[in-house]
């Protein structure tokens, strides 16, 4: 197998390696129409690994983040089905999925590197993400999670567990939880030191484990879900990354997506991206959080540094990094 890799991706700049945060979207792990078996997820990850092997095997610093929506949903469903087992709080569910998904990702990618004769350690860091316990999101739960319930079940859970549930697209009722803004990655310093030592790191899976810091500096998990793109941007800022590479279901960002007038957007300034965001060009549950995360990352660029965001599909990752396809966003 031969892999075309532009030289600057393999070796970074002449003065220092580049730091990449690679945010794997759901389709890099579980694809539409699949049942979600472990075998399917490993197959998808191997395909993603083959696309990224050149970048992963280079001299740059690499952190991989990922979503966990279907996986945490399945875990919640399994817990609900096991009547004699105490329910798991959301922070514990997030930790559990970070662990087993990190195992799958690090094994699949390590095997891809080994097949190419490349050796890198890949390590999963179970990551806590600090949020503000007074974040307005806690008063307005909006993130649907877990299985669908009947109206009767929803009423019982609301009374017995204090859950908030909403009718989700007339398919049934789902629990909604807060989605607060990530303020700080608790393990950022550890992750940075691992990168400096040549490790590839998997971190903030599913947006990380949401925790609050008490006045005595102790950390406590909360019932919430952090947006994975916002958490990836926060991590990229905290470790001083150069590139945020967001791998999703489309090879470019579009204006008028899904309409006859849709148009691919290959290059955007932060100002252009913000204007399109305000026009409502990006779907609230799909591209919008990716653009918001991109703007947050770019606008925290230190003086004298260059940062960029690249959004594309997993199979187009190297082409996008080489400027052949994908959407590149940078400060205007």
Residue in 50, 228, 251, 316 annotated catalytic: 228
Select which of 12, 25, 27, 316 is catalytic: 27
Beta strand 263-265 with 61-66 is: unpaired
Taking alpha carbons only, the member of 116, 111, 77 closest to residue 97 is: 77
Instruction: Give the active site residue among 26, 49, 54, 146.
Output: 26
Q: Is 290 a catalytic residue?
A: yes
To the query of whether residue 83 is one of the catalytic residues in this protein, the response is no
Secondary structure (3-state) at 86: coil
The C-alpha R_g of the chain, in whole angstroms, comes to 20
Using the CB atoms, write b or e for 214-249: b if 16+ within 10 Å.
eeeeeeebbbbbbbbbbbbbbbbbbbebbbbbbbbe
Say whether 26 is catalytic.
Answer: yes
Q: Quick check: is 27 catalytic?
A: yes
Q: Are 243 and 157 in contact (CB under 8 A)?
A: no
DSSP H/E element including 209: strand 209-213
> One of 143, 192, 296, 328 is an active-site residue; which one?
143
Largest Cα separation within the chain, whole Å, is 64
Counting every residue written for the chain, the total comes to 332
Catalytic position from the list 18, 290, 316, 328:
290
Q: Is 67 exposed, middle or buried (0-12, 13-18, 19+ CB in 10 A)?
A: buried
Q: State the DSSP code for 326.
A: S
CA separation, residue 300 to residues 119, 245, 296 (Å):
33, 16, 6
| Residues tagged active-site | 26-27, 143, 228, 290
């Amino acid at each position: 197998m031969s892999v075309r890799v532009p030289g600057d991706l393999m070796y970074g700049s002449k003065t220092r390696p580049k730091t990449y945060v690679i945010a794997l979207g759901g389709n890099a792990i579980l694809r539409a129409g699949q049942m979600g078996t472990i075998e399917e997820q490993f197959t998808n990850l191997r395909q993603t690994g083959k696309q990224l092997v050149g970048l992963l095997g280079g001299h740059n610093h690499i952190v991989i983040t990922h979503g966990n929506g279907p996986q945490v949903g399945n875990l919640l469903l399994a817990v609900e089905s096991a009547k004699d087992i105490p329910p798991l709080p959301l922070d514990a569910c997030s930790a559990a999925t970070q662990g087993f998904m990190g195992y799958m990702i690090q094994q699949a990618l390590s095997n891809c590197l080994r097949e190419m004769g490349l050796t890198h350690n890949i390590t999963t860091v179970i990551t806590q993400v600090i949020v503000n316990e007074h974040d307005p999101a806690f008063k307005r739960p909006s993130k649907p999670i877990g299985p669908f319930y009947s109206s009767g079940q929803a009423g019982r859970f609301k009374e017995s567990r204090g859950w908030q549930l909403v009718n989700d697209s007339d398919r049934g009722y789902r629990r909604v939880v807060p989605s607060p803004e990530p303020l700080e990655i608790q393990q950022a310093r550890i992750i940075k030191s691992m990168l400096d030592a040549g490790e590839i790191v998997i971190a903030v899976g599913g947006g990380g484990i949401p925790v609050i810091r008490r006045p005595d500096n102790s950390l406590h998990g909360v019932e919430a879900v952090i947006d994975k793109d916002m958490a990836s941007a926060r991590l990229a800022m905290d470790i001083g990354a150069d590139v945020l590479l967001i791998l999703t279901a489309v090879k470019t960002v579009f204006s008028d997506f899904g309409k006859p007038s849709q148009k691919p957007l290959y290059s955007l300034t932060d100002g252009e991206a913000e204007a399109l965001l305000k026009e409502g060009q990006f779907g609230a549950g799909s591209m919008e959080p990716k653009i918001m995360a991109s703007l947050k990352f770019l606008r925290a660029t230190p003086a004298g540094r260059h940062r960029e965001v690249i959004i594309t599909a997993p199979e187009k990752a190297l082409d996008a990094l080489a400027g052949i396809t994908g959407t590149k966003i940078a400060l205007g």
